[in-house]
Amino acid sequence: MDKIFYENLKKLNIIKKSDKLSLGVSGGADSMYLFYNFMDLKEDWDLDIIVCHLNHGIRETAKRDEEFVKKSCQAYGIKFISKTVNMDEFARKEKISSEEAGRILRYEFFRENSQGRKILTAHNANDRAETVLFNIMRGTGLKGLSGISHVNKDVYRPLINIKREEIEDYLHKNKLPYFDDETNFKEIYTRNKIRLGLIPQLKKFNPDIINSLLRLSENAEEANDFIGEILEENYYNCLGDNFLIPSEIKKLKKFIGQEVIKKYLEENFYSENILSRSNILAIYDLCLGDSGRQIDLGKNISARRSYDKIYIEEVIDQDEKTSKDLVLGRNATDFGEIFISRDEKESHEDSFIKVIDCDKIKGSLYIRKRAPGDRFKPLGMKNNKKLKDYFIDRKVDRLLRDEIGLVCDNEKIIYILGMDISEDVKIDKNTKNKLILEVRNVRY
């Protein structure tokens, strides 16, 4: 076993005795270094190890590598699992880069076969430094400057502090076989261009550029961990059931407030790919503005502020709600089920029940959505007020106002579903005939 490997493993403290491990092994120098060292450690630490190998389907020599890893596993009595995919075809289908396609397919494959196991990959210190440069070129924050972390959920990287030259030196000195991936020496992918083209140029200015990038990465990781602790302390105070709370976000430092928004987008809209600095800043600006504003985040997703709530949601065309006459008994409407009776009965769960004076109704009853110029006299008030003002006073979400059913007679609104009845139809000491309205499954 390599002393560097063993000391680094103890330093990271990510692998324990009797762990169940799944090693991602391609057959290249890094992954075979991972494999050989864990074979030396397996018995002493009582490790349960399997090996997963993904053939990306893009090289003629890929089958050679697969057979090599398979035979290596057989020699050590290790379970070997392999799968062949078409990385380039997947990239075209999903409209992503080949590099991203390969990453997605690898981790899907690893997780399919690693239930209850720690997934180990062979990313090394050079990979981490190259990732920092890659992220800088794309534009990044502290998390991106951290590069590749040694632990990411169920994925563990025990070689992340070991340099590529140390790995290759160990393999050569001990005559341990591996196969080079020929594509690693061609500037066909961005990471290859960074490794083969950019880093040699940077070494002309700083021969120790890898260590410099690693120090930057470690410092950024420590800062990011510290910020993460502050974020966790405040994050859930800024959330409702399905919305952000602007007043709570505004209490925080601007940077932490933006991190709250970023985390919310990551957790709820990762697959929609709307996480960008411009969107984070736009949503933060929404927190500072007035109610009623709405912004487009792309991918058919919008963010809108309704009072002290910010909804981030898919833009959906609402179905038109139709009016309907109401009769005694059950009425199925676009706004919910309405049961009308002359006698009070036991109420249904999750229902709204209102009792009104039947003799104060003018003509017949029907239900509709709001219309321009609507006015309503809420219970307890002497005068009518604009329905719009009533909704504003009740802080009813602007997009929900057209969804709320209004029970009307021939002259007026007598009941706003789930809210108030009109003062004009309330029961009093002179009431002789009562009408009971029970609403179930309100649809807003």
Residues contributing to the annotated binding site for ATP: 26-31
- Beta partners for 49? 21
Q: Rounded to whole angstroms, how far apart are CA atoms 118 and 50? A: 10
Which positions make up the binding site? 26-31
- Beta partners for 329? 340
Owner of token pair 């833009």: 315
Q: Which helix (H) or strand (E) holds 330?
A: strand 329-333
Amino acid type, 288: L
Residues 6+ apart with CB under 8 A from 192: 183, 184, 185, 186
What is the radius of gyration, based on Cα positions, of the chain? 32
Sheet holding 365-368, edge to edge: 324-326, 365-368, 406-408, 413-416
Please count the CA atoms within 13 angstroms of the CA of 270 that sit on its side-chain side.
Answer: 3
Residue 181 CB coordination number (10 Å):
17
Residues 6+ apart with CB under 8 A from 318: 399, 402, 403
Task: Please tell me whether residue 197 adopts helix, strand or coil conformation.
Answer: helix
Structure tokens at 371: 């219309």
Q: Rounded to whole angstroms, how far apart are CA atoms 184 and 27? A: 13
